[in-house]
Amino acid sequence: MAVGAVGRPRGLGGGMMGTVILAFDSDAVRAAEEPLLAAGAPLMDRAAFALAVRVAAELRARRGRVVGAVVVVLVGAGNNGGDALHAGALLARRGAGVLAVATSDRVHAGGLAALCAAGGRVVSVADGGPGPHVWAGDAIAEAYAADVVLDGLLGIGARGALRGPAAEVVRLLGELMADESVGGRGSGPLVVAVDLPSGIGVDAGDVPRGDDHAGGRAGADGRSDGPAAVGSVLPADVTVTFGAAKPGLLLPPAAGLVGRLDVVDIGLDLTGSRPAVARLEPGDIAGLWPVPGASSHKYTRGVLGVVAGTPAYPGAAVLTVSAAVRAGVGMVRFLGSPGVTATVLAARPEVVAVDGRVQAWALGPGVDPEDRAQADRVRDGLAQALARELPAVVDAGGLALLPDRLAPWVVLTPHAGELATLLSARGEDVDRAQVEAEPLRWARRAHELTRATVLLKGAVTIVVGPEGAVYAQADAPSWLATAGAGDVLTGLLGALLAGRAQAVVADPTLVAALASAAALMHGRAAHRANPGGPVAALAVADALPATIAAVLRGDRD
């Protein structure tokens, strides 16, 4: 099985990857569908059946049974609408009351006939559409009162934001669900997206903005799920996607609108297709993590050089080295001013504050580029990384000290604002808001300009590496957006690179996989540090040993 968007890195050894989620672009999915459709394979029937089964399970969990439930199907003109209509027909036959709301003057004829034959109702908010024409507000009132709403408005062939009646329906329903004065926080139906939330960028994960958007809503578990209709997209509680995940379901900002992702096998053969995006799951980590053997010693386990912190920011140094030590590196060599070094040694007496040979570098956390001595140490570490082919991770202040060209075994870890600054310094006209709107595009551009592997931090972390590798990790709680969390990630990733240093240089595609593994472990450690509540960066570092052990054991926590 491929890792990410490239062939399996040689550093993984034999065997298959565990549970990695692979996403394929819309062209690859359509190409895989064509021979099956030509042979008469009932792909729509398979998709509709799987969708109906998933919705029935949600209804049983939500209200105890399917009989008597109310399902509203939002239908557009394409095959996604056909999937939704056929699923609605199956649910109607099981005793649910099903209403289809057509937003186009035409809908899938076979799906419409099946729904009507099963006793479902159809109304239209579009002129000339099937069934009685109704005001959009009346249709929305029925949708809001339903148990489940199926979003079957657009499929993978659509481009751009929702328009016309479909956009109005989504906007009105989103506003109603966001209004806490109507039904209270978390009120309204469960929203199930059919293949994907209608209106997202299928392949890029962008969210084209419509003319209007509503405020926030709460998800089924009571947590805020962000805007209720961002760019005229109705956020899903569950997305049931067919054949394979699509990139937009894993990539930000659209990934924040997907809810729980359920990938349904309908028989597509994507063996010869190149994955566009990958997401590692805990079962994939054992093949990536450096685990010591009986003959290992501190030098074979990896020596990490750390340049972090200044007198103004000594805590960044403590967090970086603490994470590296707790992640299991053989040795940490710390370079810094006498005062910062004393602070580091007081917190971590196992750290060696003497210059010497290292297998990898962690550079930049808490470094002020105006602090000449520490900035020079960062530059020296980068020069060694390039000249001696040593992996390195560069964060925060180190990002302002980069040479023009790097190497794939150097990992840059900016957040959106830092990436915008880095790109602007290289002649790109981009700001933070643009990076947040199209993070994959700009992370790729940074990789093209620097040759480095780029880890763009965010609610969904994107990693872009050589040979088209793209990973998207969504493992961290929102509480991890706290001071010092990036320093912990730098130390963790530095330890991982030091432990796999030789493999990384032999196979640069491995770097992106390791960066993604570090993001996954970082997020899971944050969950372990304080489940469901606030978390401090040092607590995340302290949670790393138990988190790593649990992941390597295959615990299902």
413 lies in some domain: yes
> Tokens in use for 12?
């993984």
Name the nearest CA neighbour of 332 among 343, 347, 322.
322
| pTM (two decimals) | 0.89
Name the nearest CA neighbour of 389 among 360, 355, 357, 356.
360
How confident is the model over 383-437, as pLDDT tens digits?
Answer: 999 999 999 999 999 999 999 999 999 999 999 999 999 999 999 999 999 999 9
Same-domain pairing of 343 and 262: no
- Answer with the one of 278, 310, 333 that is the final residue of a domain: 278
Q: Is the pLDDT of residue 225 over 70?
A: no
Q: How distant, in Å, are the alpha carbons of 55, 133, 183, 187, 552 from that of 148? A: 8, 22, 16, 12, 38
* Higher-scoring residue by pLDDT: 184, 313: 313
Same-domain pairing of 478 and 396: yes
**Is the alpha carbon torsion for 497, 498, 503, 508 positive or negative?**
positive
User: What per-residue confidence (pLDDT) applies to 160?
Assistant: 80
Q: Is the pLDDT of residue 166 over 50?
A: yes
How confident is the model over 538-548, as pLDDT tens digits?
Answer: 999 999 999 99
The SS3 call for residue 304 is strand
- Answer with the one of 219, 251, 278 that is the final residue of a domain: 278
The SS3 call for residue 503 is helix
Indicate the DSSP class of residue 522.
H
d(CA 391, CA 476): 25
How many domains is the chain partitioned into structurally?
Answer: 2
Q: Is the pLDDT of residue 342 over 60?
A: yes
Beta carbons of 329 and 303 less than 8 angstroms apart: yes
- Answer with the one of 243, 278, 313 that is the final residue of a domain: 278
Beta bridge partners of 3: 6
Name the nearest CA neighbour of 539 among 552, 518, 525, 551.
525
* Higher-scoring residue by pLDDT: 520, 218: 520
> Tokens in use for 543?
């949670």
Same-domain pairing of 493 and 398: yes
Q: How distant, in Å, are the alpha carbons of 5, 142, 189, 240, 430 from that of 73? A: 35, 11, 12, 14, 40
Same-domain pairing of 458 and 398: yes
**Is the alpha carbon torsion for 94, 96, 97, 103 positive or negative?**
negative
Beta carbons of 326 and 347 less than 8 angstroms apart: no
Same-domain pairing of 61 and 131: yes
Same-domain pairing of 272 and 315: no
Strands 260-264 and 277-279: unpaired
5 lies in some domain: no
How confident is the model over 34-93, as pLDDT tens digits?
Answer: 999 999 999 999 999 999 999 999 999 999 999 999 999 999 988 999 999 999 999 999
- Kindly report the CATH number assigned to the domain that includes residue 480: 3.40.1190.20
Same-domain pairing of 368 and 469: yes
Same-domain pairing of 261 and 358: no
Beta carbons of 371 and 344 less than 8 angstroms apart: no
Residues 6+ apart with CB under 8 A from 294: none
Residue 534, phi then psi, degrees to nearest 5: -60, 150
The SS3 call for residue 361 is strand
Same-domain pairing of 274 and 328: no
> Which domain covers residue 244, as residue numbers?
42-278
Mean pLDDT value across residues 151-180: 86
> Tokens in use for 279?
């997401």
d(CA 492, CA 319): 10
21 lies in some domain: no
Cis geometry, peptide bond prior to residue 531 (ω within 30 degrees of 0): no
Same-domain pairing of 77 and 120: yes
70 lies in some domain: yes
Mean pLDDT value across residues 338-345: 96
pLDDT band at 18 (very low <50, low <70, confident <90, very high): low
238 lies in some domain: yes
pLDDT band at 180 (very low <50, low <70, confident <90, very high): low
How confident is the model over 445-461, as pLDDT tens digits?
Answer: 999 999 999 999 999 99
* Higher-scoring residue by pLDDT: 462, 210: 462
> Tokens in use for 49?
């059946």
9 lies in some domain: no
* Higher-scoring residue by pLDDT: 267, 293: 267
Other beta carbons within 10 Å of 431 = 14
Other beta carbons within 10 Å of 41 = 15
12 lies in some domain: no
Same-domain pairing of 349 and 231: no
Q: Which residues of 126-136 are buried (b: 16+ CB within 10 A; e: fewer)?
A: beebbbeebeb
Q: Is the pLDDT of residue 99 over 70?
A: yes
> Tokens in use for 371?
């602090």
**Is the alpha carbon torsion for 369, 373, 375, 376 positive or negative?**
positive
Beta bridge partners of 335: 307
Beta carbons of 309 and 367 less than 8 angstroms apart: yes
Residues 6+ apart with CB under 8 A from 24: 32, 244, 245, 246, 247, 270, 273, 274, 275, 276
d(CA 357, CA 49): 60
389 lies in some domain: yes
- Kindly report the CATH number assigned to the domain that includes residue 170: 3.40.50.10260
Q: Is the pLDDT of residue 1 over 90?
A: no
Same-domain pairing of 217 and 355: no
* Higher-scoring residue by pLDDT: 488, 172: 488
Q: Please state, for a pLDDT cut of 90, what percent of the chain lies above it.
A: 76
Beta bridge partners of 470: 464
